[in-house]
Amino acid sequence: MTVAALAVLGLWAGLAYQATRPEDASGYLRTALQVAASAHDAAATGALVGRQQLRGRLFDPVAATAYDDAVRAVAGAQKKLGSALAPDGASAALRDRLAPLVHATARELSRAATAADERTLRDAVAALDDTARRLDDLIEDNR
Amino acid sequence: MKRVLAVALGILTAIGGFVDIGDIVANAEAGARFGVAHAWVLLLGVVGICAYAEMSGRVTAVSGRPVFDLVRERLGPRVALANLAGSLFVTVLTLGAEIGGVGLALQLATSVHYLLWVPVVAVVLWVALWRAKFSLLENVFGLTGLALVVFVIALFRLHPDAGQLWQQASHPGPPAGEDWGTYWFFAVALFASAMTPYEVFFFSSGGVEERWRTRDLLTSRVNVFVGFPLGGLLAFALMVASATVFQPLGASVDALSQVALPAAVALGKLGLAAAILGFFAATFGAAMETGLSSAYTVAQYFGWAWGKLRRPREAARFHTVLMIAILVGVAVLMTTIDPIQLTEYTLVFSAVALPLTYLPILVVANDRGYLGGRVNGRLANGVGLFYLVVVLAAATAAIPLMLVTRMGGG
């Protein structure tokens, strides 16, 4: 009985340690790449939705839902990046390169979703394309 | 003539009814990330479900009783309880995922958040299962589900690179940037989406509801061997459409709004409307099937009166279980878990529960006491045993792959 209780306690302590210990450089890199991939997917999808909107191929509720889904994905990515501590200088540099791109994705998705005219939407699509490309470069550079 | 029409209707409903939220999600996600490198898994899954659905249909047509009823009688209450626990857990979770899928389809049509639709869908579902005739429900949603043919038509407008698709299909494996663990995780999810446990129990109990006899064996087999593969073709079209639109962008798919986009890219608003209608019908139809399947298995295990042929008053416990299953499905969704994520979890647990479902069916299908001379032949047993090995491998690998790949996140 005592042995079982100790084993459970040990397992619990191990899990608690695993869950709370700060990430090392490789763990941080993995998190950063996941964040970049999420932001990239959202930017690429947002650009695709915007292009179809410009061609008159989407119903408004579908476009609104697609932007909403993309914004939610980016918000999740931002939260994940914000909660991870960069363990060294290289990780901090990666964060400083990634964070503005994730922020830009969220901003341009919101601009596309609320675009009142074609020109604004076209600009937002171009910006999303550009951000998706830069996120793709970042992923390739760090893979 | 009437018989031919009945067979044709059965095939069409089998095609439309084959695809559910699991097929939609798994095929679109796999297509976007791996192209058609998982085409063989879909083929494997479709042949497997055909083999076991044929056995279930035969057992029902010859014995006049549903498979689960015979499993309990033949293997005893303990083994049947393990079967019931595994399949019921997965089926109720799947019911939640299907209701969420209906909500997501309605959100695409109205932009009203899916969670606001969930209680409405649950009430409509319960009323439909309480009031409407079995054949009416099956035919309406099976036929409307055929709207997903839009993804097959879309392929002709999207002009996918046939050479590249053939290369991916004939050389299975992860593309650059993906790893083998994630590839196998999606393989297990796709296999589970094709061989979902509820399908065989629903097919068998539905056979009893429609009063199948030995003379209906041909109808049952035609439905299975023509309808299911054509339904699998719809699932494959979802995979190819997703691969054609999203793979060049390097973007993964994790929302129903993304799954619909290839139809819009290829066919504009008309295609998009058909896709949304198809999603609605496929998920609502599957919600009915999973709801009924939950109640069928519980009622058959305890020996209660069951079925839509009886008045609700005569099968009160059956309808109570049905209502509880719907409420549990709604409660799961009300935790605000994303229905797509719920579907992914459901597919993993489904894979784990597969042996509990399929081994007893194979045993019953070999029992001369129930089937006389209609027991499995060498071919059916060979195929059945082969699939048991595959199912065991998938069940063993599902949870480790889920943990190692972080639900396919890599």
- Cα of B158 to nearest chain A Cα, Å: 14
Across the interface, which of A40, A44, A62 has its CB nearest the CB of B108?
Answer: A62
b/e code A73-93 from CB counts within 10 Å (16+ = b): bbeebbeebeebebbeeebee
**Confidence band (pLDDT; 50, 70, 90) for B13?**
low
**Residue A79 at interface with chain B, using a CB cutoff of 8 Å:** no
Q: What pLDDT is stored for residue B388 in this prediction?
A: 96
Q: Treating both helix axes as pointing N-terminal to C-terminal, what angle do B339-364 and B378-404 enclose, rounded to 10 degrees?
A: 150
Chain B 252-271, residues with CB within 8 Å of chain A CB atoms: 252, 254-255, 257-258, 260-261, 264-265, 268-269
- Mean pLDDT (10-residue bins), chain A, 143 residues: 84 77 84 95 97 97 97 95 90 95 97 96 97 96 87
Distance from C-alpha of B98 to C-alpha of B398, rounded to nearest angstrom: 21
**Residue A40 at interface with chain B, using a CB cutoff of 8 Å:** yes
Across the interface, which of A34, A57, A143 has its CB nearest the CB of B268?
Answer: A57
- Cα of A43 to nearest chain B Cα, Å: 9
Higher pLDDT, B226 or A134: A134
Q: What pLDDT is stored for residue B223 in this prediction?
A: 86
**Residue B111 at interface with chain A, using a CB cutoff of 8 Å:** yes
Q: What is the DSSP string of B250-268?
A: T----SHHHHHHHHHHHHH
C-alpha to C-alpha distances, B165 to B31, B159, B327, nearest whole angstrom: 11, 11, 43
**Residue B337 at interface with chain A, using a CB cutoff of 8 Å:** no
Distance from C-alpha of B124 to C-alpha of B300, rounded to nearest angstrom: 25
**Confidence band (pLDDT; 50, 70, 90) for B12?**
low
**Confidence band (pLDDT; 50, 70, 90) for B410?**
low
Q: Considering the entire predicted model, what is its pTM?
A: 0.92
User: Do residue B245 and residue A61 have CB atoms under 8 angstroms apart?
Assistant: no
Which of B150, B244, B256, B257 to mutate to test binding with chain A, by most A CBs within 10 Å of its CB? B257
- B89: number of Cβ within 10 Å: 17
User: Do residue A44 and residue B258 have CB atoms under 8 angstroms apart?
Assistant: no
Residues of B with Cβ-Cβ distance to A66 under 8 angstroms:
255, 257-258, 261
**Confidence band (pLDDT; 50, 70, 90) for B220?**
confident
User: Do residue A58 and residue B254 have CB atoms under 8 angstroms apart?
Assistant: no
Residues of A with Cβ-Cβ distance to B258 under 8 angstroms:
45, 66, 69
Average pLDDT over residues B200-206: 88
Residue B11, pLDDT above cutoff 70: yes
What's the mean per-residue pLDDT of chain B?
92
Which of A15, A59, A60 to mutate to test binding with chain B, by most B CBs within 10 Å of its CB? A59
